[in-house]
Structure 1
């Protein structure tokens, strides 16, 4: 089955085109020419995390080195792609609400 998107190309876009030009301010934006804000920074980082783990079969397993653009220190925490929360917190919340 063909991949839905080019994971490395999307990582490259996020890292090169979405960063704010004011380095001291930080933040990410959805496209060049727009301003950065918390909302877009959050979703850019989530998208970056999903891209890094796009081809892993198990969320417990770290992605291979070639799946992370740039140094392996760029690797982010895994996030739930639908709920946009770190997987560890998702599992804790899921267990909590399942026990009610």
Structure 2
């Protein structure tokens, strides 16, 4: 997800979800933030929010490497190929009502 110049993070999230998944969402709260060092010149900060689907629209702008969109059950999250792997446990824990710290730093 990349924000456009002057675009707020929440507005970017709503736009990108709609473009890449076809879902118009209502954003609720920031639950996790992680850092990722792609190489010596790239420091990426990822923010993860909870959200609800308001409406299904049409996917208009999938990423060039994106194969599709799939809705998965939170009860099976530990078995999904989600990266980084630690997110599986964190999301499952959040779903069970246990929320750990928001800032995760760099996780595997």
TM tier, shorter chain? under 0.3
Question: Relative contact order, CA 8 A, sep 6+: which one is greater?
Answer: 2
Decide which structure has greater helix share. 1
Decide which structure has greater strand share. 2
TM-score (norm 1): 0.26
TM-score (norm 2): 0.25
